[in-house]
């Protein structure tokens, strides 16, 4: 069989067919952010002559793996990290729904090359699936006085513009694009809903810390800490003197120290988000307001949004010291401005801490958004058989993608039937705008996924 060739906005690419699905990997949607372009807004890539092989994943952004990550994080070396991948059931088709994926990883790590993000199962259900790499950490998010803000969001805009102009060649409908992501990728998805540039029709938001955004003053605090650690000026010119890989490592170390003490006097209104210091920044240009504030005012993009039942249980168990008491937890939560009236009988200190934070960061913001926009709401409630995990943050990924057995959190026999139901709902929403249950407030509230 001849390898498929498709014409993209900048040149022809050669893909490959595997088990009936055609895939094109590592296609540049913007020029490499290197040299003088390192801290600038993304620019179009140079067009190429002939046919370019799109058979391997493209370079990933410099990053530092998160401690205790439950997913393999492959790193592909090279400067051209602004690339994307396409899986399609048939590049000769027309009008297929399109799903565009933004990976998570606290905006400091992650990659579209992670095996769990393989889009073949979506393609087999009649969807054109696109996954995107974008700048991470200081490269993508640090606020610098001599550089454009929110470079990672602008990278994602460039990818969506590529989809708008080029996805028809892969069988997709540019007017039926659904943007979706998890964790930091879900936060970015909400930012794009707020920006509303008309590049997608629907959005799926999985486990977003929906209020997470930094003010310019707090973002500059992060920039200053990184600059001190690197021994350079807190500017793009200063940061450009540090190699990207070294800047990623220095940034992670610097902000770990910075966020160890979540002092309200230091962090103001963004205290609770300080533990994730690389976030969209309300800079007055790319983002005029916090995305959450814009999203709850309504808009044209239809939403499917939800959380996992025990988002922070595994993280709380790993981060709290042995022997922590209910009183210790109340004091810690109080420092974050979160009051605890009474713990349900039998709740452990770790469970109390995780539940209160999950409610504040995930559940309550989702309810506010759902009420304002008549969104479809879900909860992923299947608990991992592993102790102290529950329905943890990120556990839904294998079920959404239909790629079970790749997450250490799933245990030995995750239920395939549940994965089929979850993925079918995502595909139905992308194709029709209806995942299969009522909108929030229409004779229903939250659809719960259980085995």
Catalytic pick among 112, 393, 396, 410: 393
Closest CA to 291 of 191, 214, 200: 191
CA distances from residue 133 to 105, 110, 159, 366 in whole angstroms, order as listed: 12, 9, 9, 26
Q: Which residues pair with 449 in a beta bridge?
A: 380
- How many whole angstroms separate alpha carbon 364 and alpha carbon 378? 13
- Give the residue from 146, 153, 149 showing the smallest Cα distance to 236: 146
Cβ atoms of 309 and 391 within 8 Å: the answer is yes
Of 63, 111, 131, 183, the catalytic one is 183
Rounded CA-CA distance 35/37 in Å is 5
CA 422 to centroid of chain Cα atoms: 18
Query: Residue for token digits 């959450």?
Result: 292
C-beta of residue 208 within 8 angstroms of C-beta of residue 362: yes
Q: Is 440 a catalytic residue?
A: no
As a whole number of angstroms, the distance between CA 263 and CA 415 comes to: 43
Determine phi and psi for 367, rounding to 5 degrees.
-60, -40
3-state secondary structure of 346: coil
CA proximity to 287, closest of 422, 95, 157, 450 = 157
Question: Could you tell me if 123 and 129 are in contact, meaning their C-beta atoms sit under 8 angstroms apart?
Answer: yes
CA pair distance 333, 312, nearest whole angstrom: 14
Helices (H), 84-215: 120-124, 137-141, 151-166, 184-195
Catalytic status, residue 106: no
Catalytic residue among 311, 351, 396, 410: 311
- The alpha carbons of the chain give a radius of gyration, in whole angstroms, of 21
Q: Which residues of 158-169 are buried (b: 16+ CB within 10 A; e: fewer)?
A: bbbbbbbebbbb
- C-beta of residue 227 within 8 angstroms of C-beta of residue 233: yes
**Chain centroid offset of residue 306 CA:** 14
> Annotated catalytic, 103?
no
- Strands 202-206 and 302-308, sheet pairing: parallel
What tokens were used for 101?
Answer: 């994926």
Are 180 and 199 within 8 A, CB to CB? no
| Tokens 């067919």 sit on residue | 17
> What residues are labeled active site?
183, 311, 393
């Amino acid at each position: 069989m001849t390898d498929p060739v498709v014409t993209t906005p900048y040149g022809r690419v050669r893909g490959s067919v595997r088990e009936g699905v055609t895939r094109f990997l590592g296609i540049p949607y913007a020029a490499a952010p290197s040299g003088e372009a390192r801290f600038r807004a993304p620019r179009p890539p140079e067009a190429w002559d002939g046919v370019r092989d799109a058979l391997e994943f493209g370079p990933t952004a410099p990053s530092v793996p998160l401690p205790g990550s439950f997913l393999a994080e492959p790193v592909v070396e090279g400067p051209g990290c602004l690339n994307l991948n396409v899986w399609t059931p048939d590049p000769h088709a027309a009008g297929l729904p399109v799903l565009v994926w933004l990976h998570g990883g606290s905006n400091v790590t992650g990659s579209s090359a992670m095996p769990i993000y393989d889009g073949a199962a979506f393609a087999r259900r009649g969807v054109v699936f696109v996954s995107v790499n974008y700048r991470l950490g200081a490269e993508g998010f640090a606020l610098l006085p001599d550089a454009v803000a929110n470079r990672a969001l602008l990278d994602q805009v460039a990818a969506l513009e590529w989809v708008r102009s080029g996805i028809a060649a892969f069988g997709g409908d540019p007017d039926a694009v659904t943007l979706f992501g998890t964790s930091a990728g879900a936060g970015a998805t909400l930012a794009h809903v707020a920006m509303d540039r008309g590049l997608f029709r629907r959005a799926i938001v999985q486990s977003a810390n929906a209020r997470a955004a930094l003010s310019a003053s707090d973002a500059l605090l992060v920039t200053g800490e990184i600059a001190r650690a690197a021994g350079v000026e807190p500017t793009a010119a200063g940061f450009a003197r540090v190699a990207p890989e070294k800047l990623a490592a220095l940034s992670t170390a610097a902000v770990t120290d910075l966020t160890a003490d979540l002092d309200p006097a230091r962090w103001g209104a963004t205290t609770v988000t300080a533990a994730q210091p690389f976030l969209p920044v309300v800079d007055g240009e790319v983002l005029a307001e916090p995305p959450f504030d814009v999203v709850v005012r309504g808009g044209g993009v239809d939403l499917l949004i939800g959380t996992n039942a025990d988002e922070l249980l595994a993280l709380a168990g790993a981060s709290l010291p042995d022997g922590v008491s209910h009183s210790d937890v109340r004091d810690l939560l109080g420092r974050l401005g979160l009051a605890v009236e009474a713990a349900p009988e039998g709740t452990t200190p770790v469970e109390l801490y995780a539940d209160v934070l999950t409610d504040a960061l995930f559940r309550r913001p989702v309810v506010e958004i759902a009420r304002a926009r008549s969104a479809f709401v879900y909860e992923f409630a299947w608990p991992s058989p592993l102790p102290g995990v529950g329905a943890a943050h990120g556990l839904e990924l294998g079920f959404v993608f239909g790629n079970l057995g790749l997450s250490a959190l799933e245990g030995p026999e995750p239920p395939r039937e549940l994965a089929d139901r979850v993925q079918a709902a995502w595909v139905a929403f992308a194709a029709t705008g209806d995942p299969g249950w009522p909108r929030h407030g229409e004779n229903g509230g939250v659809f719960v996924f259980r085995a």
